[in-house]
Amino acid sequence: MFLKPAHIVPVARAVLVLGVLAVVALTLGPFAGAEEILGMSDKVAHAFAFGVLLMIAFFAFPFRRRFDMMLIALAIGAGVEIAQTYVARSSSLVDWVADAVGIYAVYAISMIERWRWMIREQGALTFAEIAAMDARRASRRAHVAFEPQDGSAEAANFAERASQRFPAR
C-alpha cells in the first residue's frame, strides 16, 4: 500500500477532534496555569493552540475555503471565552484576541502560495479587476439575449419592451 495525500484527511480529522477536545478540556477544566508547564504565557498558549487547530483543520478539510475555516475558528474561540464565564474560569477579550492572533498568523501563512500565484499570473491587474474575474462573484442568472427577427412588428415591440425591463449591463 502506498501513502497518498488523501490518506492524510482522515488522520487529520481524528487529530483535529482530539485537539479540539484537549483545548476545550484545558480551557474549561480546572487546569488554570497548565501552560506554565510548557514555559508559555497564557496569551502565547491561546495563540499557539488555536493556530495549530486551524492548521490541522486545513489538512482535515482540504475542499473548504480557508477564510470560512478561519471564521469558524474565531467563533469557537469566542464560544470558549463565553463558556468560561459559566465555569470557575475567567474569560477576557484579550484571550480571544490572542486566539485571533494565532488564527490569523496561520491563515496568512496559508495564503502565501495563493498570493505568489496572483503575483505571477495577474501581477499587471488591479485588485478590482482580479475580483471581477472571480467566478464566485458572477451573476447566478445566465445572460441570454434574444434577437428579434427582421421585419416582424411583434418582435420589434417585444425587443423594445424587453430592453426597457432588462437594460443592458
Distance between CA 61 and CA 79 in Å, rounded? 21
Give the per-residue pLDDT at 103.
Answer: 97
Residue 133 belongs to some domain of the structure: no
Helix (H, G, I), strand (E, B) or coil at 93: helix
Residue 132 belongs to some domain of the structure: no
Residue 40 belongs to some domain of the structure: yes
Residue 98 sits at the vertex; the CA angle it makes with 83 and 36, to the nearest 5 degrees, is 85
Residue 97 belongs to some domain of the structure: yes
Helix (H, G, I), strand (E, B) or coil at 143: coil
Split into its structural domains, the chain has a count of 1
CA nearest 57: which of 88, 15, 25, 94?
15
Give the per-residue pLDDT at 154.
Answer: 66
Give the per-residue pLDDT at 5.
Answer: 83
Residue 161 belongs to some domain of the structure: no
Kindly tell me the burial class for residue 20, based on how many C-beta atoms sit within 10 Å of its own C-beta (0-12, 13-18, 19 or more).
middle
Residue 17 belongs to some domain of the structure: yes
Give the per-residue pLDDT at 169.
Answer: 67
pLDDT of the chain, 169 residues: tens digit per residue: 688 888 899 999 999 999 999 988 888 877 777 777 777 888 898 999 999 999 999 999 999 999 999 999 999 999 999 988 888 777 888 989 999 999 999 999 999 988 888 888 888 888 888 878 877 766 655 555 656 556 666 666 777 777 777 877 6
Residue 148 belongs to some domain of the structure: no
Give the per-residue pLDDT at 149.
Answer: 57
Residue 150 belongs to some domain of the structure: no
Distance between CA 155 and CA 36 in Å, rounded? 80
Instruction: Give the structural domain span for 115.
Output: 5-119
39 Cβ neighbours under 8 A, 6+ residues apart: none
